[in-house]
Amino acid sequence: MCLLVTQSSTSPVLSNDWLMDFYSSNSDGVGVMSAINGDLIIQKILPKSAQDFIDFYHANIKGKNCAFHLRMKTHGDIDLENCHPYEVLNKTDHGMDLWLMHNGILSTGNKADISKSDTWHYIRDFLRPILSNNPEYAFNPSFAEIIGKHIGSTNKFVLMDHDGRIATINQSAGVYWAGLWLSNTYAWSASKSASDVPCQSAKQAKAQAKEKPQKYIPLASHPHAYYDSRVDDYYDGEYRGASSYQWIDGDEDDGFTYDQKSFFEDDFYCAIDDLERAQLYKASTLSFRQAQRFANQFDQASFFDIAYACVDGEIDEDHFYRCIHDFAFARECFPFLNRLSDLSYANDGEIA
């Protein structure tokens, strides 16, 4: 997963609700890069709680022209070195401080040192050799085009130099919301108002920032049924991203008129079609029964989050396929699943 965000000094301050939402799916490290008086300032933290991230945000991110990154581990150890950003160039050797943040999974190899991330390897093997003798090329549109094609649109880079200049690779694959640019819609509770164009006014940005993230709230009488206040939007046929999926209980006494199993089955086959269109043929062979088992062990939203992370290139199809079949491996890869295990059904995986 991971979430990469850029903002200006005039971007609205995010509420604690949104900060906790960001952190809840991306808790393996936070970093920020900004420039002050010709110096590139890099700050990183391994937060132990959402409050640690909230405090870090208010001390180091709020009100700054900056880029910040929340990590969910896919490759490499969980440590400060593997927190984004990473150094690409430095003033001593290249005449420019240039650092990079990345969202996505690169297929260019990381076997040389498995303790390091795929981003670290890509910088060493590709970006540093390209830019060492021509640092200014990092801000040339042709560089963004070439690198964007090489890494694929499911990967996004943000580079910043000591003067605060920013180059965003595959920017069009992200979204704009509340005066921010965000790299995806699946690693946070993406708002309905998120758009592929920037906010048109400061007033619009502030209004969006005042929204509340929509959480999955367990119904007291049915601990495995969930209601999402965006449900009406979903029924109206709007694609809300993976985070908008919710459990639907068939008991009409709770006001639900849709059968849970058939609703999930329809969306499962849509996801399979998307995997096949992405030429992820092994992933697209997943059976509905296995998807049911995974959804019952964790929740529906998590199944679709991980499926669309595969579609978007955040994880490869072997990784996805094993996660869906091996729950222990899935928990290791996606720690947020550990919080959902106690919601699993007592039966062997059939949806009631």
Give the pLDDT confidence of 194-219 residue by residue, as tens digits. 999 999 999 999 999 999 997 533 32
Q: What is the full DSSP assignment across 45-79?
A: E--SSHHHHHHHHHHHTTTSSEEEEE---SSS-SS
Triad 275, 226, 320: Cα angle to 5°: 25
| Separate counts of helices (H) and strands (E) for the chain | 13, 12
DSSP structural state of residue 334: -
Residue 344 pLDDT > 60, yes or no? no
% of residues, the chain, pLDDT over 70:
80
The structural domains of the chain, ordered by start, are 3-209 (3.60.20), 217-343 (no CATH)
% of residues, the chain, pLDDT over 90:
47
Give the pLDDT confidence of 170-196 residue by residue, as tens digits. 999 899 999 999 998 878 888 889 999
Task: Specify the pTM.
Answer: 0.67
Element (H, E) at 232: helix 231-235
